[in-house]
Structure 1
C-alpha cells in the first residue's frame, strides 16, 4: 500500500526506518514545516514499513521545497521507486519540476561501506526517475570555546541599512560566484532578480534581529567590501550568508566577515554555529577552516531538469 501518513499519530510508523531527521519529524509536523500529505509510506500487507519519502516545506506553505527523506529496507529499492513515482504524481503539479532531493551524510561517506549501502539505493531511485547530481556541500560547525580570529583592522562593521542595501550588495556579490545554487539562479534570472529572490524567500523570514546583518567596509576608504548575515533559522544559529564583492576578493577578507558573524552569534549566547559551502568552493571552505569551523557532514543534492 502506497499512502501518506494520516497525521501525527503515524509519525512513529514513518520513523521506523532510520535517518538523521527522525527526531525532528514530529516537531516539524506540529510547526507546519512538514505536512502529513507530504510524508509518504510503502507498507506491506502486515503494515510493515518498506520504504518512505518525505518533503520539507516552509512554515505556512503547502508547497514542498525539498525532498529530504527517502529510505527503504534492504532489497526493496523497486518499492521505493514505485513509492516515489506515485508520491511525485500526487505532490508535484503536472508539468512542474520536482523539488530537489537532498541527503545529509557523514564526512568521508564514500569510503564507508555501511553508509554507501544505505545511501546508494535512494540515490539510484531518484536518478532512475530523472534527477542528476547538482552539488555536494560541506556542513560546518563552530563550537563555543573555539578561538575566533581577532579583527585585523582592515575592516569595520555596521548593521545593514535595510532591504535595498542588502539586495544591492548581494547583486554585486553574485558576479563570479562559485556557489552552485546561485549559478543555477543566474541561469534563469538577472543578478538583481536572483538577489531579490533570495532576500524574499530566505532572508526576510529570519525572525532574529536585523542588527545581526553586518556590512563590512574598508577601514581606509569606507567603501563596502562585503556582507555577512548571522541569524537563527527554525532549528539553530547559523551564518546564513557571506559574500565579498569581486573587487576585494583574494585578500582573505571572507575569513574576517565570517569571524564577525560568529562573534555576533556567540555574543547572543550561541553554543554552536552552523554554516555550509559547496565542496567546489575551495576558497570559502579554507576560510571556514581558518575561522575555527570543522566539517561534520556533507549534503548531497540531486535535481530534476
Structure 2
C-alpha cells in the first residue's frame, strides 16, 4: 500500500472504473489532486483498492475523500479497504484534525440493483470501520439541451443581485425552515447569518462566472421572494443555490425561480446543467423533476464527528 509516484501512474490508478477517472489528469495538472494524496493497494501488479482526496490548489490539506474503490472480486474486500484507509489517512491528513467528508457518486437505482448495492455497502462498511457515518444521500440532477424551458409568466420579476449584503440577507432568511442537511447541521453550531456568510465565502464567492447570473426574484411591486445562483464550478454549469423566503413558500414560486436560473445558463449555450438536492428535500426534488431535470445518479456523503 503506497501513494502514487507521480502522474505516470495514472493508468495504474484508473484500472478500477469510476466516473471521475476522466478528470484525474486535469486535476493533477491544476493542483486539485496531488500524487501523495492518491493511494493504491496492490497484490503483485494488480490493483485491488485505491483512495484519493481532492482539495483546492491553494489549500494545504484536502477538502474531501472522493475516490475509494475496492476490487469486488476480492474475498476480504472490506478488510482491504479498511487497511488502505488506515494506512493512507495518517499520511495524507493533518494529525489531530477531523478527516474531511467522503463523497461518492452512485447509480440512481443502486438500492434496486443487487450488485450495485453490494459494492456501495461494502465501501460504506469499510468507512464505518474507520469512524465515518452516513450524513446524507443526495439526488444528482441534470438538465439536457432540448428540454423545454418555460418563458417568464409575469408572476415574478428578475434582476441581478445589488451587492453581497443583499444576497447574505436573503440567504439568512431562507435558512428558516430549510430542509437541506448541510444547512441544518450548520445551524446547530452557528447563527443563521454566520452560516450564510460561511456558505457564501467558502463556495459562492469562489465562482469566477459573472455575478449578474445570480438572480433575485421579486413580486411586481419589488418585494423579494427568493433567488437563484447560477454559476460554473470547476467542471460544469450548475444551479448552485436556490431558495424561497419563508413568507412566500407554498405559492409555486420555486418553479419560476428555477426556470429563471435555467434560462440564465441556457443563454450561455451550455452542454448541460447540473444540480443536486437532498433525497429528503422532497419539495425541491419535485421542482427539479417538473423542470425536466433528470436524476442521473445519487451522492452518498459520510462524515467523521
TM-score (norm 2): 0.96
**From 41, 47, 50, the counterpart of 1:52:** 50
Q: Structure 1 residue 256: deviation in Å?
A: 0.8
Structure 1 moving runs of 4+ over 6 Å? none
Which residue number in structure 2 is paired with residue 6 of structure 1?
5
Correspondences of 1:139-150 after superposition (within 5 Å)? 139-150=140-151
Query: For 1:102, what is the secondary structure of its paired residue?
Result: strand
Which residue number in structure 2 is paired with residue 277 of structure 1?
277
Q: Per-residue displacement from partner, 1:187-232 (whole Å, max 9, x unpaired)?
A: 121111111111111111111111100011111x311111101011
Correspondences of 1:152-231 after superposition (within 5 Å)? 152-219=153-220, 221-231=221-231
CA contact (8 A) 2:138 2:299 kept: yes
Q: Distance in 1 between matches of 2:156 and 2:57?
A: 37
Q: Distance in 2 between matches of 1:215 and 1:183?
A: 23
Which residue number in structure 2 is paired with residue 41 of structure 1?
40
Q: Distance in 2 between matches of 1:170 and 1:118?
A: 38
**How many residues end up aligned between the 2 structures?**
302
Correspondences of 1:240-255 after superposition (within 5 Å)? 240-255=240-255
Q: Per-residue displacement from partner, 1:99-133 (whole Å, max 9, x unpaired)?
A: 11111111111111221232221111001111111
Q: Per-residue displacement from partner, 1:130-149 (whole Å, max 9, x unpaired)?
A: 11111110111111111112
Query: For 1:110, what is the secondary structure of its paired residue?
Result: coil
Q: Structure 1 residue 156: deviation in Å?
A: 0.4
Query: For 1:111, what is the secondary structure of its paired residue?
Result: coil
Q: Distance in 1 between matches of 2:27 and 2:58?
A: 11
Q: Structure 1 residue 185: deviation in Å?
A: 1.2
Q: Distance in 1 between matches of 2:216 and 2:193?
A: 18
Which residue number in structure 2 is paired with residue 78 of structure 1?
79
TM-score (norm 1): 0.96
Which residue number in structure 2 is paired with residue 96 of structure 1?
97
Unaligned runs of 5+ in 2: none
Q: Structure 1 residue 98: deviation in Å?
A: 0.9
Q: Structure 1 residue 60: deviation in Å?
A: 2.4
